[in-house]
Amino acid sequence: MTLRWICLNKLDSILPSVTFNAFNSAAMISCVFIFIAKCNLRQTSRFP
Protein backbone atom coordinates (compact mmCIF):
# COMPACT_ATOMS: atom_id res chain seq x y z
CA MET A 1 0.00 0.00 0.00
CA THR A 2 2.71 2.51 0.92
CA LEU A 3 4.82 1.54 -2.10
CA ARG A 4 1.85 2.10 -4.38
CA TRP A 5 1.19 5.47 -2.74
CA ILE A 6 4.84 6.48 -3.22
CA CYS A 7 4.69 5.49 -6.90
CA LEU A 8 1.47 7.46 -7.38
CA ASN A 9 3.00 10.41 -5.56
CA LYS A 10 6.06 10.33 -7.83
CA LEU A 11 3.84 10.11 -10.90
CA ASP A 12 1.86 13.11 -9.66
CA SER A 13 5.07 15.10 -9.30
CA ILE A 14 6.49 13.97 -12.66
CA LEU A 15 3.39 14.37 -14.84
CA PRO A 16 2.78 18.11 -14.25
CA SER A 17 6.38 18.95 -15.13
CA VAL A 18 6.15 16.87 -18.32
CA THR A 19 2.90 18.54 -19.36
CA PHE A 20 4.36 21.93 -18.42
CA ASN A 21 7.42 21.26 -20.59
CA ALA A 22 5.20 20.17 -23.47
CA PHE A 23 3.09 23.31 -23.04
CA ASN A 24 6.24 25.45 -22.95
CA SER A 25 7.53 23.83 -26.13
CA ALA A 26 4.20 24.31 -27.88
CA ALA A 27 4.05 27.94 -26.77
CA MET A 28 7.59 28.62 -27.97
CA ILE A 29 6.91 26.96 -31.33
CA SER A 30 3.69 28.93 -31.79
CA CYS A 31 5.50 32.17 -30.87
CA VAL A 32 8.15 31.42 -33.48
CA PHE A 33 5.47 30.73 -36.11
CA ILE A 34 3.64 33.95 -35.21
CA PHE A 35 6.91 35.88 -35.40
CA ILE A 36 7.70 34.41 -38.83
CA ALA A 37 4.16 35.14 -40.03
CA LYS A 38 4.40 38.75 -38.84
CA CYS A 39 7.75 39.19 -40.58
CA ASN A 40 6.31 37.75 -43.78
CA LEU A 41 3.28 40.04 -43.53
CA ARG A 42 5.52 43.08 -43.03
CA GLN A 43 7.67 42.14 -46.01
CA THR A 44 4.64 41.62 -48.26
CA SER A 45 3.09 44.91 -47.12
CA ARG A 46 6.35 46.78 -47.74
CA PHE A 47 6.86 45.23 -51.15
CA PRO A 48 3.45 44.72 -52.74
pLDDT band at 5 (very low <50, low <70, confident <90, very high): confident
What is the pTM assigned to this prediction? Answer: 0.53
DSSP letters, 1-14, are -HHHHHHHHHHHHH
Domain total of the chain: 1
11-43 residue pLDDT tens: 777 777 778 888 888 999 998 999 999 888 887
| CA 27, 28, 29, 34 torsion-angle sign | positive
Residue of 44 and 1 predicted with greater confidence:
44
d(CA 6, CA 38): 48
Domain of residue 37 covers 1-48
Helices marked H in the chain? 2-46
